[in-house]
Amino acid sequence: MKLGYDIGFLEVIVGPMFAGKTTELIRRIERERYAKRKVGIFKPSLDVRYSVSSVATHNGLTYPAYVVSANDEGVRKIYEIAKKEKLEVVGIDEGHFFPLSLVEVCEKLANEGVRVIVAGLNLDFRGEPFETMKELMVRADDVTYLTAVCSVCGAPATRSQRLIDGKPAPYNSPRIVVGGKELYEARCRKHHIVPR
């Protein structure tokens, strides 16, 4: 008896920092595991904020993960492990850290009957799209957009504000800086500031 789906499906969960993307990814993976489907979550090796070997939420929820490099080789490993382990559901956390080759692998897995769920930031700290997430969103069968709460006014937050010494990071700061509450805040459009 086949426990998987007859067709694959590509889902994307996006939003700013502190919106609950990883929590939602874990919830969906746990639901599939409960349904007796073979599941696995992948995470980039550069994300060591809360755990080296698990995906982890800002509030302490963890789930064991396959850890791969955030490069083309790591993306190939996602596909190889998914096939070798006969995964029916593949979760990928922090999708924005991976190169565009992730899009092709996600599509390939979905076309082969795998349910693929990718969580990540849609916008960088400047408010500009992460290319990999943008491409995944337009190819996805379903997109869930989560918001956080603005740390300034309490409105729905759609942006991630990077801070340096408590002040907004300038535009020319490095695009990728891994961090949590010590470096980032969720902000609404009005209170998101990027000095040029």
Cα-based distances in Å from 32 to 16, 35, 37, 108, 158: 25, 5, 6, 20, 28
Confidence band (pLDDT; 50, 70, 90) for 6? low
Over range 124-146, report the average pLDDT: 97
Which domains can be identified in the chain, with CATH numbers? 9-147 (3.40.50.300)
Give catalytic status of residue 94 as yes or no: yes
Instruction: Please tell me which residue in 11, 32, 88, 94 is annotated as part of the active site.
Output: 94
Q: Is the pLDDT of residue 109 over 50?
A: yes
Residue 47 has pLDDT above 60, yes or no: yes
**Would the pLDDT of 116 be above 80?**
yes
